[in-house]
Amino acid sequence: MDILRFATAGSVDDGKSTLIGRLLYDSKSIFVDQLEAVERTSRDRGEDYTNLALLTDGLRAEREQGITIDVAYRYFATPKRKFIIADTPGHIQYTRNMVTGASTADLAVVLVDARNGLTEQSRRHAFLATLLRVPHMVLAVNKMDLVDYQAEVFDRICEEFSAFAARLDIGDLTFIPMSALHGDNVVDRSANMSWYDGPSLLHHLEHVHIASDRNLIDVRFPVQYVIRPHAATDADLHDYRGYAGEVAGGVLKPGDEVLHLPSGFTTRVRRIDAAGVEVPEAFAPMSVTLLLDDDVDISRGDMICRPHNRPAAAQDIEAMVCWMSSDQPLARRSRVIVKHTSRTVKAMVTDLHYRIDVNTLHRDEAATQLGLNEVGRVRMRLTQPVFCDPYTRNRTTGGLILIDEATNATVGAAMITEAS
């Protein structure tokens, strides 16, 4: 059994909480006492229905305001897969939290109310999921019961979205008509929409092929930690020098010739340990320890790759940035700290090429700064090189976070487009 991480985007009005509630309920992942607590609170507030949003909106402020502010993670499993739901907020002022949820997702479910069709919000959600390179997207056209389950309504929304999606780079897009409230096409195929011959949402989530979403070609091993037991009494341990980290790309096997960056020195993999046992191969997202044939001076922040397939050692990078600070904007000459894999360096913004309107995709080349939740393309100069790939090629070696030097707050996320 493997894990599928998916993010849901949409507002309460689109039926997102009802959808999650139904997935959890129908997979028996809601417990009796949780349901009772929700029913009690709904009753106390004088609501005449059980408000399933109270299950996912876990913070006091969220329940008071009736909106989702931050990502909530929910878990359920079927005999096929374990699922991690990142339930993300839909409002534009919480874009940074939606981006947090999307960054680790294999699939994004974008909810649309069949009565309203595509809105500015659904376009934004689709754009952000694409910006974060979520490999699979489902456009869930919800509340089909309120449009009499008409195929024409569904077809029209699909056409409109396809036209918009053509401007994005969406790897795999699936359209599903549903009614979360009545359970149509959520877990079981709907009897009300015989014109639809695709899968239910859960069936799609269980079967979507995610194994090949990872990069299994370019070997990338950012060194995270060096393990040296220093046990003078045990000869085996005395010489143990292991380079620990999480494989970010490719497949590593004992005997493979590898290259160390920044030195450029080549050696071979002698052995691979994973969680205390020797393994025949390592690939993403395994955390392993590499033992090499030669003694090379290797430390945290270094990169191990193959001799003829190296990442860029870049000090100047072009990146799409999502800015997350309300304190101050990002502008030319802004200074930040950059964390990229296991390396942390300082950086300065040398250029802001454009700001992108997250609702219309319009590029504003006259923009001079990025405010909270704004997205734009920037150029940055780093004090030291990072070993990176374009984000489209590798989500791990292509992504970095920006940290404020004074407050230590995480103020941005960046996706590398080019590096030199």
Partner 1 sequence: MRPDYQISQLDALESEGIHIMREVAAEFERPVLLFSGGKDSIVMLALAEKAFWPARIPFPVMHVDTGHNFPEVIEFRDRRVADLGVRLVVASVQDSIDAGRAVEETGRHASRNRLQTVTLLDAIEEHRFDALFGGARRDEEKARAKERVFSFRDEFGQWDPKNQRPELWNLYNTRLHRGEHIRVFPLSNWTELDVWAYIEREKLDIPSIYYAHERQVFERDGLLLADNPFVPRGQDEPLFTAMVRYRTVGDMTGTGAVASVAVTVAEVIAEVAATRITERGQTRGDDRVSEAAMEDRKREGYF
Residue 82 near partner 1 by CB under 8 A: yes
Report the nearest approach of partner 1 to the CB of residue 271 (Å). Answer: 12
Q: Which is nearer to partner 1, 143 or 343 (CB)?
A: 343
Residue with token string 């405010």: 371
Q: Which is nearer to partner 1, 102 or 201 (CB)?
A: 102
Residue 116, token pair as written in the block: 């309203």
Report the nearest approach of partner 1 to the CB of residue 116 (Å). Answer: 28
Residue 324 near partner 1 by CB under 8 A: yes
Rounded Cα gap, residues 31 and 307, in angstroms: 53
Q: Which is nearer to partner 1, 157 or 269 (CB)?
A: 269
Residue 286 to residues 50, 138, 252, 279, Cα–Cα distance (Å): 42, 28, 11, 11
Residue 314 near partner 1 by CB under 8 A: no
The string of DSSP codes covering 359-379 is: TT--EETT--EE-TT-EEEEE
Which of 365, 377, 360 is closest to 322 using CA atoms? Answer: 377
Q: Which is nearer to partner 1, 212 or 420 (CB)?
A: 212
Q: Which is nearer to partner 1, 188 or 239 (CB)?
A: 239
- Answer for which of 342, 359, 369, 417 binds partner 1 (CB under 8 A) is 342
Residue 16 near partner 1 by CB under 8 A: no
Rounded Cα gap, residues 28 and 87, in angstroms: 18
Report the nearest approach of partner 1 to the CB of residue 138 (Å). Answer: 21
Site for partner 1 in 51-80 (CB under 8 A): 55-61, 63, 69-75, 77
Per-residue binder mask for partner 1 (CB under 8 A), 205-244, x = binder? ------xx-x-x-------xx-xxxxx-----x--x---x
Residue 149 to residues 61, 95, 195, 349, Cα–Cα distance (Å): 36, 32, 10, 51
Q: Which stretch binds partner 1 (CB under 8 A): 151-159, 189-197, 275-283, 359-367?
A: 275-283
Report the nearest approach of partner 1 to the CB of residue 175 (Å). Answer: 27
Q: Tell me how many residues contact partner 1 (CB under 8 A).
A: 79
Angle in degrees, CA 224, 230, 236, rounded to 5: 100
Report the nearest approach of partner 1 to the CB of residue 74 (Å). Answer: 7
Residue 271 near partner 1 by CB under 8 A: no
Label the pairing between strands 303-305 and 363-364: unpaired
The answer to whether the beta carbons of residues 111 and 157 sit under 8 Å apart is no
Site for partner 1 in 293-312 (CB under 8 A): 300
- Answer for which of 26, 39, 84, 198 binds partner 1 (CB under 8 A) is 84
Q: Would you call 405 helix, strand, or coil by DSSP?
A: coil
Burial tier of 299 (Cβ tally within 10 Å: 0-12, 13-18, 19+): exposed
Site for partner 1 in 393-412 (CB under 8 A): 395-396, 399-401, 403, 408-410
Q: Which is nearer to partner 1, 42 or 192 (CB)?
A: 42
Residue 42 near partner 1 by CB under 8 A: no
Rounded Cα gap, residues 254 and 239, in angstroms: 18
Report the nearest approach of partner 1 to the CB of residue 151 (Å). Answer: 36
The answer to whether the beta carbons of residues 245 and 223 sit under 8 Å apart is yes
Residue 100 near partner 1 by CB under 8 A: yes
Residue 96 near partner 1 by CB under 8 A: yes
The answer to whether the beta carbons of residues 4 and 107 sit under 8 Å apart is yes
Residue 97 near partner 1 by CB under 8 A: yes
- Answer for which of 51, 88, 103, 190 binds partner 1 (CB under 8 A) is 103
Rounded Cα gap, residues 397 and 416, in angstroms: 9
The 10 Å CB-count burial string (b at 16+, else e) for 260-272 is bbeeeeebebeeb
- Answer for which of 90, 135, 177, 245 binds partner 1 (CB under 8 A) is 245
